[in-house]
């Protein structure tokens, strides 16, 4: 599409947008343009009633709410399963919602990072989100390994900001004899680069290693096909693109071939135990032969009630429609930002190709980045600042409008 730098053009795009009505289903922040959905998504209006329902059932039924409530808590996580599977391109038996992201990352590594004397290396992206770095580092130490020897961090080429798929694959091939796991983000939180998960998974498998992904910045953002891509496992948080509230619960994917294998070692808890005999309280852990076999505890009903509302919206909008709007919205913002940056004060380091990014644009500043971010706030644009020098903008297709993009560019121009 050929974009135009005008308010009329932005309004035309909004008029043509079949998802524009979803904006009314969110609590927008009065007088502000919110571009921080990649950090904490806005609140769906229906979230409150969903939580109220569970308060009501708790107050009315007490413990009997596990079976007699409107949405029985005993298998509350199952209300989320099909919608989660649709959202990430998985089979229902491959997904479960539980815990929080970093907790799940560790639980999955217990199963899928079991280093031996010869096969012990992890390949990850350099500059990964700190929690992921700490998880990899402490997993290596937990197995008595030196993180500097066990972890290979992929770095961009000299003068580049993002990774080339060919370089990722080359590193995998070069370490084929000693590689245990390739563990990457789906989208890097800093640069906004989306990785070719299909190609990376294929290369990891060829090398005899597992392939896992942290989809914190990819779930609800990219069109994922985790099952078809043969990904071994993945996990994601739900409070960023998935609008499920601060500290919200987390989603997990375990490919069917792994999920059905009850001999895979794991940390067990009663909610992962075979459902038919769970309440017989017998000795001997017998895992459910699906992704639910990795659950430890009973369902976190309150955060899941919010997440269920959000997943229902994604289901109604359709992930492919969301992605189509997202590409257009981000493309429009990119066009407008380049229009107003006449003095070349920043560089957009996010890949230009829509296939290689989600909705986020990362603006690298040589100087005055932090001041620009602060001034934007004064001008009612809530973006996001990441040390040392990147300003991130993440327009969310369910609640940001094309007109928002135009006002954002005007605010950039004025600061
Ligand atoms: C947001 C984010 C996290 C945060 O983890 P929590 O356990 O939910 O606090 C971890 N990893 C990545 C890549 C993230 O983007």
Examine residue 287 and state whether it is found in any structural domain, yes or no: yes
Specify the number of domains making up the chain: 2
Same domain, 324 and 280: no
Question: What is the position in ligand 1's atom list of the atom closest to the CA of 240?
Answer: 1
Helix (H) or strand (E) holding 370: helix 369-378
Ligand 1 test: best mutation among 36, 107, 130, 131, most atoms within 8 Å of CB?
A: 131
Ligand 1 test: best mutation among 138, 187, 189, most atoms within 8 Å of CB?
A: 189
Give the per-residue pLDDT at 415.
87
Residue labelled with tokens 């090398």 = 207
- Tens digits of residue pLDDT in 42-73: 999 999 999 999 999 999 999 999 999 999 99
Any ligand 1 atom below 6 A from CB of 107? no
Give the per-residue pLDDT at 282.
83
Same domain, 186 and 220: yes
Give the per-residue pLDDT at 278.
84
Same domain, 184 and 278: yes
Q: How many whole angstroms from 130 Cα to the centroid of ligand 1? A: 8
- Where would I find the H helices in 239-368? 256-259, 301-317, 319-340
Any ligand 1 atom below 6 A from CB of 132? yes
Measure the CA–CA gap between 197 and 217, rounded to whole angstroms.
13
Nearest-5° angle of CA 227, CA 211, CA 213? Answer: 75
Tokens in use for 216? 């914190």
Measure the CA–CA gap between 82 and 167, rounded to whole angstroms.
36
Same domain, 179 and 200: yes
- Tens digits of residue pLDDT in 156-166: 999 999 999 99
Confidence of residue 315 (pLDDT cuts 50, 70, 90): very high
Same domain, 101 and 244: yes
Same domain, 311 and 330: no
User: How large is the average pLDDT for residues 95-103?
Assistant: 98
Ligand 1 test: best mutation among 37, 212, 216, most atoms within 8 Å of CB?
A: 216
Same domain, 291 and 326: no
Question: What is the position in ligand 1's atom list of the atom closest to the CA of 237?
Answer: 8
Confidence of residue 280 (pLDDT cuts 50, 70, 90): confident
Examine residue 207 and state whether it is found in any structural domain, yes or no: yes
Give the per-residue pLDDT at 95.
98
Q: 296, 271 in Cβ contact below 8 A?
A: yes
Question: What is the position in ligand 1's atom list of the atom closest to the CA of 39?
Answer: 1
User: How large is the average pLDDT for residues 328-342?
Assistant: 96
Measure the CA–CA gap between 117 and 242, rounded to whole angstroms.
40
Give the per-residue pLDDT at 162.
97
Give the per-residue pLDDT at 159.
95
Q: Using the 3D structure, point to which of 315, 337, 353 is the last residue of a domain.
A: 315
Confidence of residue 277 (pLDDT cuts 50, 70, 90): confident
- Tens digits of residue pLDDT in 173-231: 999 999 999 999 999 999 999 999 999 999 999 999 999 999 999 999 999 999 999 99
Give the per-residue pLDDT at 24.
98
* pLDDT > 90? residue 279: no
Same domain, 385 and 311: no
Measure the CA–CA gap between 115 and 145, rounded to whole angstroms.
9
Examine residue 58 and state whether it is found in any structural domain, yes or no: no
Same domain, 152 and 235: yes
Examine residue 123 and state whether it is found in any structural domain, yes or no: yes
Same domain, 159 and 218: yes
- Burial of 386: CB neighbours in 10 Å, binned 0-12, 13-18, 19+: middle
Same domain, 77 and 29: no
Any ligand 1 atom below 6 A from CB of 237? yes
- We report the CATH number of the domain holding residue 329 as 3.90.1150.10
Least confident of 10-24, 265-279, 311-325: 265-279
Examine residue 53 and state whether it is found in any structural domain, yes or no: no
- We report the CATH number of the domain holding residue 77 as 3.40.640.10
- Tens digits of residue pLDDT in 75-93: 999 999 999 999 999 999 9
Q: Using the 3D structure, point to which of 258, 291, 315 is the last residue of a domain.
A: 315
Backbone angles phi, psi at 324, to 5 degrees: -65, -45
Q: Model pTM greater than 0.85?
A: yes
User: How large is the average pLDDT for residues 356-380?
Assistant: 95
* Strand bridging mode 95-97 / 250-254: antiparallel
In which domain, by residue range, is 372 found?
Answer: 7-43+319-414
Examine residue 62 and state whether it is found in any structural domain, yes or no: no
Q: 323, 351 in Cβ contact below 8 A?
A: no
- Tens digits of residue pLDDT in 125-144: 999 999 999 999 999 999 99
Name which residue leads in pLDDT, 324 or 276.
324
Examine residue 344 and state whether it is found in any structural domain, yes or no: yes
Examine residue 226 and state whether it is found in any structural domain, yes or no: yes
Report the candidate in 314, 332, 334 with the shortest Cα–Cα distance to residue 323.
Answer: 314
Q: Using the 3D structure, point to which of 286, 315, 344 is the last residue of a domain.
A: 315
Q: How many whole angstroms from 78 Cα to the centroid of ligand 1? A: 23
Same domain, 160 and 242: yes
Confidence of residue 336 (pLDDT cuts 50, 70, 90): very high
């Amino acid at each position: 599409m050929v974009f135009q730098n005008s308010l009329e053009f932005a309004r035309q795009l909004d008029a043509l947008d079949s998802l524009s009505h979803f904006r009314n289903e969110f609590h927008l922040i009065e007088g502000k343009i919110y571009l921080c959905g990649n950090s904490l998504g806005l609140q769906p209006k229906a979230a409150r009633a969903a939580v109220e329902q569970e308060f009501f059932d708790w107050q009315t039924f007490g413990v009997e709410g596990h079976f007699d409530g409107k949405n029985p808590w005993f298998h509350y996580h199952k209300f989320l399963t099909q919608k989660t599977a649709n959202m990430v391109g998985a089979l229902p038996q491959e997904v479960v919602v539980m815990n929080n992201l970093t907790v799940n990352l560790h639980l999955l590594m217990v199963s899928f990072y079991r280093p031996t004397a010869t096969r012990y290396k992890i390949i990850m992206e350099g500059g990964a989100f700190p929690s992921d770095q700490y998880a990899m580092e402490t997993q290596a130490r937990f197995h008595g390994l030196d993180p500097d020897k066990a972890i290979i961090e992929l770095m961009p080429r000299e003068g580049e900001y993002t990774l080339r798929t060919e370089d990722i694959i080359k590193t995998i091939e070069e370490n084929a004899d000693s590689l245990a796991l390739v563990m990457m983000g789906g989208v890097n939180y800093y640069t906004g680069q989306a990785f070719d998960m299909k190609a990376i998974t294929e290369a990891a498998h060829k090398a005899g290693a597992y392939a896992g992904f942290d989809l914190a910045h990819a779930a609800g953002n990219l069109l994922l096909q985790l099952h078809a891509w043969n990904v071994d496992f993945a996990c994601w948080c739900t409070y960023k693109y998935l609008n499920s509230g601060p500290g919200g619960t987390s989603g997990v994917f375990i490919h069917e071939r792994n999920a059905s294998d009850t001999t895979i070692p794991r940390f067990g808890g009663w909610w992962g135990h075979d459902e038919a005999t769970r309440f017989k309280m017998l000795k001997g852990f017998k895992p459910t032969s699906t992704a639910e076999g990795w659950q430890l505890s009973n369902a976190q009903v309150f955060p899941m009630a919010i997440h269920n509302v959000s997943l229902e919206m994604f289901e109604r909008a359709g992930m492919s429609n969301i992605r189509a709007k997202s590409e257009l919205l981000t493309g429009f913002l990119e066009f407008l930002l380049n229009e107003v940056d006449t003095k070349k004060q920043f560089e957009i380091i996010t890949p230009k190709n829509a296939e290689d990014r989600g909705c986020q644009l990362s603006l690298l500043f040589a100087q005055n980045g932090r001041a620009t971010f602060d001034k934007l706030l004064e001008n009612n644009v809530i973006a996001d600042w990441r040390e040392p020098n990147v300003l991130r903008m993440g327009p969310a297709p369910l609640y940001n409008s094309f007109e928002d993009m135009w006002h954002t560019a005007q605010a950039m121009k004025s600061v």
